[in-house]
Amino acid sequence: MAATMRAPRIQALWLLPWLLVVFLTKFASTSPLKTIPKLAVHHRINLENPSTSTNLNPYNPEDHKTYYYDQTLDHFNYQPQSYATFRQRYVVNEKNWGGSSVAAPIFAYLGEESDLEGDVEAIGFLRDNAARFNALQVYIEHRFYGKSVPFGTRENAMRNATLRGYFNSAQALADYAEVLLYLKKHFSTQNSPVIVLGGSYGGMLATWFRLKYSHIALGAFASSAPVLYFDHITPSNAYYSVVTKDFLDASRSCHNTIKRSWGDIDRAAATSNGLSWLSKKFNTCNPLKDGSELKDYLDTLYCTAAQYDRPPRYPVTVVCDGIDGASQNSDNLDRIFAGIVAFRGYKSCYNLSEFFPSETLQGWRWQTCSEIVLPVGRGDQDTMFQADPFDMKTYSDSCKQDFGVTPRPHWITTYYGGLNIREVLKRFGSNIIFSNGLHDPYSSGGVLENISNSIVALVTQQGSHCLDLMPASQNDPEWLVRQKNEEVEIIHNWILQYYQDLFQSY
């Protein structure tokens, strides 16, 4: 089914009962648009989840102080209005900070497409390792998210075609540069090495920050950053191919059931009472208006399960156990529903568009419609999904309709590179960790092989999206502990080398 034929996209926020709330990207759009899974490491601790109590270094709000920096609206322009400033939020945890006298390091988490507040709690890497490094912990919010929206409400900022023009990655990186230089000055700690880190889109930002601002960041730790999913460096169907592989690896029968189900839905929807029959079968809170409503929901569900397919409860296995474990007289669609119930839990009804418009989804819709063009699609029979090729024209028209401007699909590779990344960075740059878990569909756009001695790829077979940024837990499997230790060891070596260079220069 061609993308242009698709019904309006839904977007959904999944409250995963086992660990975290994660956002997905189904565009908040009324125009027909591609399914672009959500990039963010958008974590919210689920307070009902007892597993947070297993964290080795629990989050303590009192250690974290919130500040605001008067940030330049437009770093790359000198029009009078470029000089306007807005309040950018950042959070500092000084608990383990060794101070300027020993040039103790600064760990800076670069905010991605979400409110920072949840990140500070959900990201464990800084908290877990600050003591070892005597590091200052800093979290900086991305412009136009959370409390870092220029001039009033987010709604107004996003409605204003002039203002939202400033909402992009190059400006965000310059924001981070200003805040970090300010902090070094404020703490009188010019010699402190800065390590930037982030996940998913935030991991791209960390990578790009190291490449563009090597004078500010000594190194970057980029978790699950699909820096190569631009401009067709990575095959368009790579994302869905990994989702498919995750399900196939979990259970061939489950994969086959899913693969067959799309046609079943189409056939049912095409009958006279089909939509009502489907609504009942899937116990939807609202009657289905179109078969694609259900298909989009399932698409999102499978992508979420794959992207966050992690311990202790691997969602792909959960879904497949539901599908495969349905009673023997179940048909395909009964099995699919059993998968939903297994994953989402028993509910009085299933709301296919719950948590409808969210800040992250609205912001990300703009970002993907301006510069972050990820040409994710899929062909005929190359995944367990129906064909849905990426079509730039359709995509572009839809963005134009929503925002009055068209995306610049080549800008990311023009400004940040990506093509021939191995040849380019083999003898240029240093100190970047690209970590990826192969269960994560976005790993297909990541750097999966070492580029040089100090631009390295850490890959875990069982890892998922941004898993290694999560708080260390008693329940972490051994391979995850090993991965995190390796990351810490590499950062440790960067800093050691830096101190030796520093010592030599005195």
Q: Which residues are catalytic?
A: 200, 440, 465
Tokens of 445: 């756009």
Residues 233 to 252 in contact with a second copy, rule: CB under 8 A: none
Q: Which x/- pattern over 360-379 shows residues binding a second copy (rule: CB under 8 A)?
A: ----------xx--------
- Residue 154 as a binder of a second copy (CB under 8 A): the answer is no
Q: In 231-314, which residue ranges form alpha helices assigned H by DSSP?
A: 238-250, 252-270, 274-281, 291-307
* Closer of 284 and 367 to a second copy (Cβ): 367
Looking at 63-71, 199-207, 376-384, 426-434, which segment touches a second copy (CB under 8 A)? Answer: 426-434
How far is residue 120's CA from residue 139's CA, in Å, rounded to a whole number? 7
Nearest distance, CB of residue 105 and a second copy, angstroms: 15
With 0-12 / 13-18 / 19 or more C-beta atoms within 10 angstroms meaning exposed / middle / buried, residue 117 is: middle
Interface with a second copy in residues 184-223 (CB under 8 A): 211-216
Segment interacting with a second copy, rule: CB under 8 A, options 37-45, 170-178, 254-262, 434-442: 170-178
Site for a second copy in 396-415 (CB under 8 A): 404-406, 408, 410-411, 413-415
- The answer to whether the CB of 207 falls within 8 A of the CB of 230 is no
Q: Which stretch binds a second copy (CB under 8 A): 108-116, 236-244, 425-433, 438-446?
A: 425-433
Which of 158/438 has CB closer to a second copy? 158
**Which residues, numbered 447-476, are part of the site for a second copy (CB under 8 A)?**
454
In the complex, minimum distance from the CB of residue 369 to a second copy, in angstroms, rounded to a whole number? 9
Q: Which CB sits closer to a second copy, 167 or 390? A: 167
**To the nearest whole angstrom, how small is the minimum distance from the Cβ of residue 144 to a second copy?**
12
Nearest to 353 by CA among 307, 399, 286, 426: 286
Classify strands 432-437 and 455-460 as parallel, antiparallel or unpaired. Answer: parallel
| Buried b / exposed e along 386-399 (16+ C-beta atoms within 10 A) | bebebeeebbbbbb
Nearest approach in angstroms of CB 170 to a second copy is: 5
Would you list the DSSP string of 32-76? ------------EE-TT-GGGGGBSS---GGGEEEEEEEEES-TT
Q: How far is the CB of 27 from a second copy (least distance, A)?
A: 17
Q: Are 159 and 131 a contacting pair, CB within 8 Å?
A: no
- DSSP letter for each residue of 427-467: TS---EEEEEETTSGGGGGS--S--SSSEEEEEESS--TTG
Q: Does 156 bind a second copy (CB under 8 A)?
A: no
User: What would the x/- binding string for a second copy be over residues 475 to 504, using CB under 8 A?
Assistant: ----------------------x---xx--
How many helices (H) and strands (E) the chain has is answered by: 17, 11
CA angle 356, 360, 365 (to 5 degrees): 85
Q: Which of 76, 263, 356, 381 binds a second copy (CB under 8 A)?
A: 76
Toward a second copy, which CB reaches closer, 248 or 405? 405
Of the residues 4, 30, 60, 82, which one makes contact with a second copy according to CB under 8 A: 82
- Which C-beta is closer to a second copy: that of 190 or that of 276? 190
Q: How far apart are CA 244 and CA 314, in angstroms?
A: 15
Give the residue, chosen from 420, 450, 475, 485, that forms a contact with a second copy under the rule CB under 8 A: 420
Q: Which of 132, 289, 426, 482 binds a second copy (CB under 8 A)?
A: 426
33 and 9 Cβ atoms separated by less than 8 Å: yes
Q: Which of residues 56-75 bind a second copy (CB under 8 A)?
A: 74-75
Please list, in sequence order, all residues whose beta carbon lies within 8 angstroms of the beta carbon of residue 157, skipping any fewer than 6 positions away. Answer: 144, 149, 150, 151, 163, 164, 167
Binding-site member from 68, 151, 356, 428 for a second copy (CB under 8 A): 428
Q: Are 495 and 104 in contact, with CB atoms under 8 Å apart? A: no
> Nearest Cα to 226, choosing from 416, 493, 64, 83?
416
Give the residue carrying structure tokens 């399932």: 298
C-beta of 215 vs 393, nearer to a second copy = 215
Task: Find all residues with CB under 8 Å of 70, minimum gap 6, and list them.
Answer: 85, 86, 87, 88
Residues near a second copy (CB under 8 A) are 74-80, 82-83, 161-162, 164-168, 170-171, 174, 177-178, 181, 211-216, 370-371, 404-406, 408, 410-411, 413-431, 454, 497, 501-502, 505
